[in-house]
Structure 1
């Protein structure tokens, strides 16, 4: 049995770690059950099973049920959609993106749009927040300049989301309940992939990296270029924090000025006035498990240059100075690491987080660090070498040759879209936040960090995640349960041999760069568009 009090003090954010007002004490709860759902097929099947339980009772029973859903990209209708002004309207090529989205699988007949409409008609309180950039998708004359600056992929995904919002609003019961999340920084995104389903008698939450788009259906063993991702299923008292986060965003948008969005030749209003606020709800505090959870958020600050040609936004009323809880939690756990840190992520751009890894390596010679990336997300633009700069300026700067042997980076032959870190088989985080500056300071994010009273969950999660990477079947997962044998698979110089597992050809070593800095033009794009820091004054375009 673990000394849970010691683990909490060591890995979880504590009152002494708090830096007010932007880094308050995160909402922390006991008695939860966290289930890591590895890959889209696992998550979508789990979510569908929960949705199928709703809307089957009497009208009185159904109206006590709810489905609250947020998304960075809701590509629910698929296909080529009407373009924004000056745009082609063609989504970036990817598997099955031309077809409507179904939880049942690529191109399956049971569409998610039909499912949500049916639940709403049955009386379930269905509410959707999809993100679109008011700076890019609004009808303003600087749009073309922003797209040329590298934001064409933002426009492409936003078109899909706006088309889904337009389609869902054709259902009368959803006409006032499907909104655009307009709370973002001008160069930021509402990046959360948060779903809460249930009723007043109990609810389940989901948070992680998975959007509702047709190419997200993946499952091990992965064919090359398939999607790989993780979503966390949350049960217990922690669901209250997820519910309240959605509620706070919904009610904030409700009182905002409506912003018109361009979809083809039509204007799509961001939301509707007069919709009743989402009332407070006290969910049951039943304890279904023994997992400790910190519910973590990122919300931006809003600082603009004197002359700014892009539309500006107002501060969020309940987060006037932003919220950087994910940053605080990540840095705390990295600093506390003793034996290993494993980071699986889409983008390793944060010099601050890379520097924290370096500092911990330099203090702890027994520590090993594994970084795992993959093939670029096909919906991302072609990025300059921000990751190389973060590696050389953050992780490797000042390291001795011996310290460099403590860290290795690998690339898988699949699209690694995961946003998860594991420390010492004791602490882990799953959510929407990437290993990037914008996820720490600018985008709207949500993640959960967790420990286990019995000290089993995080190791079990690590074994499942590494078995996916090593292409092991369930019968062979026990071979990497021992962390020393498992680390030896990544690097024969680490841990101890004896697992019988070899690194598969689908995983290749990433050679660390020579010292890399960004050219002035690359640095400007990085600061202005790709990895914005909301604590700094921002101007969307030059005159």
Structure 2
């Protein structure tokens, strides 16, 4: 048996690690079952199975059942959407939403909108929180200015979400239960992809990187340009934290002033005043497994300069100083790493996290670091070289030539959208937070970090994740169970040979960029829009 108490002390956030009030001790639970769900097809099938269980009795029998869903991008409807005109009278192009979303796959029948409507009509308590930027999508002159200033991708995402909200509200039983999450920093987003499905005191939670969007149906074996992502299924006492996080956000929005949004010529109010409070619910604390979980959040602070052209927002009552729990947990695990740190992400912008990795490398000559990315997300805008700057100035600066051999960077021929880190086959985190400053301090995020009493879960997760990258059939994945043999597959100078597995052509070694310095205008865009730090006074758009 593993020495679970030693693992908890080494990798989990402890009372001595917290920095009050913004970095409190995260909610920590034992007796859980964590199931990493690699790729969208796996996740969507799992969540559909849970949703299908509900709403099969009479309305009276179904009234204790619930589906709570959040998303950064709810791309549930199809067709072309005419956005609101700018206040100057200028219009912008139609947004093409392609096919409506089905959990069964692109273009499949059984749309998620129809499924949620049917469950709500059957008496299930269905509630949805989708994000749209009140600074960009409000009915004011900023919209056209912001779009012209490079925020067209955010606008397109928001239009898809607002169109989905409008469609769901067409069902009478959902008219007051589908809201816009307006709790964000003016330059931030509600980036959580959180789902809780349950009946009475029993519930299952999901958190990770996967939105309900048509191009997220990736699966193994991945064809080139497919979508790769990770969500995790949470069972046991830790689901209470996921449920309560949704409830806190819902009840906070409930008492806020309604924000106006525009979709074509129609107003889409953020929420409905006067709705009843979402009541507390006590979920089962019965153990269902041997996994330890820390539930982690990012919630912003709200600091503004004296001049701010965009709408401001007020503090969140249940987190007036913000919550930076993901930051604390990530840094703790990186510092604790002894054998390897493996990160899958699309950004690598955070100087703070990459500096922490650098310090770990400098102090531990046996440590190996793997950074994996993939093709650019086709919905992302063209951005200055923030990752090149952070990698060269944060990770590599000050490393000796020998220490540089401890770090390697790889790219897959798929869109790597996952946000996950694994350390030493002991600790892992799966959530919505990227390796960016905004994910640590500004966007609304959620993640779970986990350990295992038997110290097997994280190794199994790593085998599945690397097996996906190496294109291994399930029967062959145990060839990389030994971490030293698995590291050797990535880099022949690491670990020990003998696995019989070769790095496939779909995974390529990527040289680190040469050192760069961001131009003044690039740095300003980074600080003002791209990777905002909510702890700093923020001034919005300039005239």
TM-score category, normalised to shorter length: over 0.9
Structure 1 window deviating more from structure 2 (372-381 vs 135-144): it is 135-144
In the TM superposition, residue 90 of structure 1 has moved relative to its aligned partner by 4.0
Q: Match of 2:65? A: 65
CA distance in structure 2 between the aligned counterparts of 1:205 and 1:408, rounded to whole angstroms: 34
8 Å Cα contact 1:127/1:178 also seen in 2: yes
Q: Match of 1:539? A: 539
In the TM superposition, residue 142 of structure 1 has moved relative to its aligned partner by 2.2
8 Å Cα contact 1:226/1:415 also seen in 2: yes
8 Å Cα contact 1:150/1:529 also seen in 2: no
Matched, 1:88 2:59: no
CA distance in structure 1 between the aligned counterparts of 2:93 and 2:500, rounded to whole angstroms: 50
CA distance in structure 2 between the aligned counterparts of 1:516 and 1:79, rounded to whole angstroms: 42
- 1:209-248 maps to which residues of 2 (within 5 A)? 209-248=209-248
Matched, 1:512 2:512: yes
Matched, 1:439 2:439: yes
Q: Match of 1:320? A: 320
Structure 1 window deviating more from structure 2 (139-148 vs 101-110): it is 139-148
Q: What is the TM-score of this pair, normalised by structure 2?
A: 0.98
CA distance in structure 2 between the aligned counterparts of 1:104 and 1:127, rounded to whole angstroms: 21
- RMSD between superposed Cα atoms in Å: 0.9
SS in 1 for 2:216: coil
In the TM superposition, residue 346 of structure 1 has moved relative to its aligned partner by 1.5
Matched, 1:468 2:468: yes
8 Å Cα contact 1:84/1:159 also seen in 2: no
CA distance in structure 2 between the aligned counterparts of 1:247 and 1:374, rounded to whole angstroms: 35
- 1:4-83 maps to which residues of 2 (within 5 A)? 4-83=4-83
- 1:363-402 maps to which residues of 2 (within 5 A)? 363-402=363-402
Q: Match of 1:421? A: 421
Q: Match of 2:408? A: 408
CA distance in structure 2 between the aligned counterparts of 1:430 and 1:278, rounded to whole angstroms: 27
CA distance in structure 1 between the aligned counterparts of 2:453 and 2:393, rounded to whole angstroms: 38
Note the alpha carbon deviations across 1:350-390, whole angstroms, 9 max, x for none: 00000000000000000000000000111111111000000
8 Å Cα contact 2:420/2:430 also seen in 1: yes
Q: Match of 1:358? A: 358
Q: Match of 2:492? A: 492
8 Å Cα contact 1:151/1:529 also seen in 2: no
Instruction: Give the gaps of 5 or more residues in structure 2.
Output: none
In the TM superposition, residue 522 of structure 1 has moved relative to its aligned partner by 0.8
Instruction: Give the gaps of 5 or more residues in structure 1.
Output: none
In the TM superposition, residue 139 of structure 1 has moved relative to its aligned partner by 1.5
In the TM superposition, residue 89 of structure 1 has moved relative to its aligned partner by 4.9
SS in 2 for 1:155: helix
State the number of aligned residues. Answer: 539
CA distance in structure 1 between the aligned counterparts of 2:421 and 2:63, rounded to whole angstroms: 38
In the TM superposition, residue 147 of structure 1 has moved relative to its aligned partner by 2.0
CA distance in structure 1 between the aligned counterparts of 2:79 and 2:216, rounded to whole angstroms: 15
CA distance in structure 2 between the aligned counterparts of 1:20 and 1:169, rounded to whole angstroms: 40
Q: Match of 2:530? A: 530
SS in 2 for 1:342: strand
In the superposition, relative to structure 1, how do residues 139 and 487 fare at CA in structure 2: closer, same or farther (>3 Å)? same
In the TM superposition, residue 88 of structure 1 has moved relative to its aligned partner by 3.5
Q: What is the TM-score of this pair, normalised by structure 1?
A: 0.98
CA distance in structure 2 between the aligned counterparts of 1:463 and 1:448, rounded to whole angstroms: 19
Q: Match of 2:125? A: 125
SS in 2 for 1:168: helix
